């Protein structure tokens, strides 16, 4: 399955905006233009020092060679190596579980994306394997990994509560001191480095907890019923694999089973429940699979392979045209790039583009262009990110998301006087009512727009349209 894992890991599929906005864009921010999301603004809720830890080396090498593609391949390689290491750790516990995990889209697609959930999962599996060991060195390493996991994602402890309680007796010894020491040192180091970076004392972990315990804040991201993780997200991740869990040998698998139970139960109390939040729990459950003891289980394993092949193909192409489109635009960036009916366009594929780049989203605002106020009258815009460089041209990225075609037309009206404009949209988008000459200058069929109904999915593909600066009066 190694070739399949490499192909899936380096596909351009785009699962969630955070893999670029909070990940790769922030990682390259010290070298190239990139948007700084609100999570890294004043009183940040994410650790900037951990961004440098996970992305620093790939970003430095990519900046040196001025290659966005190198950055992409190195980051994905890092996440792929974590998956390979997880497979080895799971194999040492249960070869069947490792085989099932290795053939899953959970490993090949979801865990190889630059999401913090992949880091969280790797650190969790390491901690679960270390729990039975009682030496000072093992406990020190356990404490360090737990501190790193908590700093990476505040949800991390939820997956360790029940397994830790199961090993509580072994923690009633002096070796626990080394675990507490490692845990405290890592947390303190993260706070110190974050504070040095921003110039004042900053506790990103506490800021994160304060933000995510406010239901109003969570409502901005979407609220879900308490049963979403158990009855929607876990089945989405595992499908027929749920029938492969080896319940008969629950004592053997208790550490992994208890981790999944603990995480699902505790995180169900948080009303914002995304599928990716259950990647650690689903991985722990994979480690308990029995795929060969009976004929029925072998048949279920074939169903598992089919399920993951279909899901893997879907996620390899989901929003898969966005990064290639940005790489194409990087050759000769236009003044304005209007993205419609897609996820947010990451900036890192544009590479070391001279000048300034401003990322805008529909909301009330005023943008200054050439020191003159330009009012975008459609739905107005929010200046999500601004990069200024005096004496160089300014460029603008508009994330229109699912705005109406009227808003897109207004955006074109406002930006054409500034300079060249392109529209990037799925081939399924209806552009017939846009009163301009639209010429396709680039397209790909390897793009699925799965965030709408069937009429917005077919035909698949993404296209870049050059917009001529005059109205088409021929009809």
Task: State which residues form the domain around 417.
Answer: 322-471
Residue 370 and residue 336 share a domain: yes
Residue 371 and residue 244 share a domain: no
pTM of this prediction?
0.91
Higher model confidence: residue 158 or residue 16?
Answer: 158
The string of pLDDT tens digits covering residues 86-124 is: 999 999 999 999 999 999 999 999 999 999 999 999 999
Residue 278 and residue 400 share a domain: no
- Asked whether the predicted pLDDT for residue 462 surpasses 80, the reply is yes
Residue 177 and residue 137 share a domain: yes
The string of pLDDT tens digits covering residues 403-438 is: 889 889 988 988 888 889 999 999 999 998 899 999
Residue 222 and residue 286 share a domain: yes
Query: Average per-residue pLDDT in the chain?
Result: 88
- Asked whether the predicted pLDDT for residue 391 surpasses 60, the reply is no
* b/e sequence 448-471, b meaning 16+ C-beta within 10 Å: bbeeeeeeeeeebbbbbbbbeeee
Nearest Cα to Cα of residue 279 among 165, 113, 76, 57: 113
Residue 426 and residue 349 share a domain: yes
Which of these three, 293, 317, 341, is where a domain ends? Answer: 317
Beta bridge partners of 397: 337, 359
Residue 333 and residue 311 share a domain: no
Rg (CA), the chain: 24
**Count of domains forming the chain:** 2
Q: How far apart are CA 241 and CA 225, in angstroms?
A: 24
Which of these three, 317, 347, 367, is where a domain ends? Answer: 317
Name the pairing type of β-strands 336-339 and 394-399.
Answer: parallel
Q: How far apart are CA 131 and CA 168, in angstroms?
A: 10
Q: What is the pLDDT of residue 371?
A: 32
Residue 395 and residue 292 share a domain: no
């Amino acid at each position: 399955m190694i070739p399949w894992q490499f192909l899936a890991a380096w596909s351009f599929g785009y699962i969630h905006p955070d893999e670029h906005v909070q990940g790769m864009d922030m990682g390259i921010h010290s070298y190239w233009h990139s948007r700084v999301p609100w999570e890294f603004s004043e009183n940040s809720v994410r650790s900037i020092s951990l961004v440098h830890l996970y992305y620093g080396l790939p970003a430095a090498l990519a900046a040196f060679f001025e290659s966005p593609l190198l950055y992409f391949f190195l980051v994905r390689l890092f996440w792929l190596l974590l998956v390979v290491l997880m497979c080895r750790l799971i194999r040492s516990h249960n070869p069947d579980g490792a085989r099932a995990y290795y053939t899953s889209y959970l490993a090949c697609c979801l865990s190889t994306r630059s999401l913090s959930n992949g880091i969280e999962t790797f650190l969790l599996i390491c901690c679960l394997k270390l729990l039975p060991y009682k030496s000072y060195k093992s406990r020190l390493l356990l404490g360090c990994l737990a501190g790193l996991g908590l700093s990476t994602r505040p949800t991390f402890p939820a997956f360790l509560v029940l397994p830790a309680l199961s090993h509580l007796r072994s923690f009633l010894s002096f070796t626990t001191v080394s675990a507490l020491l490692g845990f405290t040192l890592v947390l303190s180091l993260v706070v110190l480095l974050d504070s040095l970076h921003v110039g004042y004392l900053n506790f990103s972990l506490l800021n994160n907890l304060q933000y995510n315990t406010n239901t109003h804040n969570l409502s901005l991201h979407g609220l879900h019923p308490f049963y979403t993780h158990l009855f929607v997200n876990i089945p989405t991740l595992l499908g027929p694999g749920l029938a492969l869990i080896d319940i008969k040998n629950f004592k053997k698998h208790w550490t992994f089973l208890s981790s999944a139970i603990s995480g699902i139960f505790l995180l169900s109390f948080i009303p914002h429940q995304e599928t990716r939040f259950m990647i650690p729990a689903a991985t722990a459950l994979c480690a308990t699979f029995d795929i060969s003891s009976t004929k029925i289980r072998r048949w279920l394993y074939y169903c598992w392979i089919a399920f993951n092949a279909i899901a893997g193909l879907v996620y390899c192409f989901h929003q898969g045209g966005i990064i290639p489109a940005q790489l194409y635009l990087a050759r000769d960036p236009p003044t304005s790039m209007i993205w419609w009916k897609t996820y947010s366009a990451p900036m890192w594929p544009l590479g070391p583009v001279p000048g300034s780049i401003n990322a805008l989203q529909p909301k009330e605002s005023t943008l200054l262009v050439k020191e003159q106020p330009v009012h975008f009258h459609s739905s107005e815009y929010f200046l999500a990110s601004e990069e200024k460089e005096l004496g160089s041209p300014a460029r603008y990225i508009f994330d229109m998301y699912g705005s109406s075609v009227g808003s897109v037309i207004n955006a074109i009206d406002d930006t054409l006087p500034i300079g060249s404009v392109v529209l990037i949209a799925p081939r399924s988008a209806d552009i017939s009512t846009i009163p301009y000459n639209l010429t396709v200058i680039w397209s790909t069929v390897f793009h699925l727009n799965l965030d709408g109904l069937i009429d917005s999915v077919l035909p698949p593909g993404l296209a870049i349209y050059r917009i001529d600066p005059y109205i088409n009066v021929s009809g």
